Amino acid sequence: MSSLQLGLIVAGVLLVVAVIVYNVWQERRVRRNLADTRSAPARAEAETSRRSAARVEPTLASERAPAGAQPAFRTGDARETSFEPPVDVIAPPPSTESIETEAVELAAAGASPAGELRDASDAPIASTASRGLAHSHDVAHNVVQPDHEIECLIPLSPAAPIAAGALAAGLHARIGKPLRWFGRTDARADWQLLAADSPGRYADIVACMLLADRNGAASRAQLEAFARVVRDIAATLGATFSLPDLAREAERAESLDRLCAELDVQIGLTVQMSEPASIAGTRLRGVAEAAGFRLSPAGRFELVNEDTGGVLYTLQNLRPDAFSAEMLRLTATNGVVFLLDVARLSDPLRTFDQMKLAARRMAATLGAELVDDNRRPLDDAALATIREQVEAAAEALRVVHVQPGSPRALALFSA
């Protein structure tokens, strides 16, 4: 054996060892961040879905923090949150070679013989969601494009370019998970999100179904319904298409849902009156609206970003009752909860700082206290600890390439 061969063997072994060590380090780093966010005990009384405007409970303080320091994080709905993500879920982005190995062969007009669906740069789009979400330029820059990591994609090749209106049955289909349809004029053009009135004609079409959201993972039945919708439309257009392996797509959906359940983090700050005092509903509404909140049909007050229209944080009743104009006119409450949804915010830390100031200001105005679940005051040290947890939760999302506030995050963490 020559010295060159020996050197190559040694270099190969060192490379493999380096990759393994990096994966283990990355896993421990994310698990440590996630462990911090799960340090506080869960409430004994289960929280129902935010979608039903159910009670938002104040959270328990962590034993590791100073008295009154850490409200626990809460998930967005009834998902199971005890899942420990396996190493491959939180692995670093795969190499180019591994992406090519795992690419999903989806047929599209003008595609290569392998049938790969290609983006505007003509680079193959790979499917790596079962190993963790991969970074992409479009996701990082909030460009609305098909997302092969979190959606089931089915490309169609019409016999001739079509208008978006020809996809009406698909655009209006309701199968329990959000659908999106994209088109492009040719293989080198950008994908455009389609609506029934989108102008122009499109040579390439791709149908996309979200694999997981706060309602859970896409089921095999939903995936089959999606395939039927595409098949029926393809028949009317004389289009060719290629279905992915639906069993594998269902597995991807389950894996993605488990990952998102671990990362689905909200945090609340409670403003509570000392018993037996309470806050008249009319006074609460006046104070909330003066602070910029709007009463929403969901039974809570919302503070909305005027530039984007997105909700920054909400104000919910400490009691089980949802807020309404009638309820606020006739009754009172003993407190409210400020609630921040980390994944849906482009700048969670800044928003938390704003929410903290708003909660303090409201507590002072109402003669109430800013407290944890055990009615212990939240001092500066406690709030600083909570801020660190918000930062850890946001970083955990970034590690798996879910940028907080991005289209990918808004899709995965929607009801």
**φ/ψ (deg, to 5) at 256:** -65, -40
Whether 153 and 179 have beta carbons less than 8 Å apart is answered as no
Report how far residue 404's alpha carbon sits from residue 392's, in angstroms, rounded to the nearest whole number: 12
Q: For residue 339, give the amino acid letter.
A: L
Helices marked H in 264-304: 281-290
Cα dihedral sign for 399, 404, 408, 409? positive
Q: What is the pLDDT of residue 28?
A: 60
Q: Angle, to 10 degrees, between the axis of helix 380-399 and the axis of helix 3-37?
A: 140
Cβ–Cβ under 8 Å, residues 191 and 120: yes
Neighbours of 142 (CB within 10 A): 14
User: What's the pLDDT at 372?
Assistant: 83
- Name the nearest CA neighbour of 66 among 388, 387, 377: 377
The DSSP 8-state label assigned to residue 342 in this structure reads G
Sequence-separated (6 or more) residues with CB below 8 Å from residue 187: 108, 109, 110, 111, 118, 122, 203, 204
pLDDT at 375: 84
Backbone angles phi, psi at 175, to 5 degrees: -125, 15
Domain parsing of the chain, residue ranges: 91-261, 264-412
Query: Residue 64 — φ and ψ, nearest 5°?
Result: -80, -15
**How much is the pLDDT for 349?**
97
Percent of the residues in the chain that have a pLDDT greater than 90, as a whole number: 62
Cα→Cα distances 142→1, 105, 364, 384, 407, Å: 53, 26, 39, 30, 6
The fold of the 264-412 domain, in CATH, is Cell Division Protein Zipa; Chain: A, (3.30.1400)
pLDDT one-digit tens code per residue, 137-156: 555 456 789 999 999 999 99
CB neighbours of residue 207 within 10 Å:
27
Cα Rg, the chain, nearest whole Å: 25
The pLDDT tens digits for 151-179 are: 999 999 999 999 999 999 999 999 999 99
User: In which element (H, E) is residue 184 found?
Assistant: strand 179-184
Question: What's the CATH number for 91-261?
Answer: 3.30.1400
The 8-class DSSP code of residue 373 comes to T
Residues sharing a CB contact under 8 Å with residue 61, sequence separation 6 or more, in sequence order: 40, 67, 68, 69, 70, 71, 372, 373, 374, 376, 382
**Tokens found for residue 284:** 């609460």
Gap between the Cα atoms of 125 and 115, Å rounded: 11
C-alpha distance from residue 52 to each of 45, 298, 320 (Å):
16, 7, 11
Q: For residue 199, is the peptide bond before it cis, meaning its omega torsion is within 30 degrees of 0?
A: no
Give the residue ranges of the chain where pLDDT is below 50: 30, 33-131, 140
The residue ranges of DSSP E strands in 211-310, in sequence order, are 212-213, 216-217, 240-241, 266-272, 279-280, 294-295, 301-304
DSSP string, 88-118: GGGPPPPPHHHHHHH------TT--TT---B
What was the pLDDT predicted at 331?
95
Give the DSSP H/E element, type plus range, for residue 231: helix 220-237
- pLDDT at position 150, please? 97
Evaluate whether 91-261 and 264-412 have a shared fold.
yes
What are the tokens at 157? Answer: 């090749």
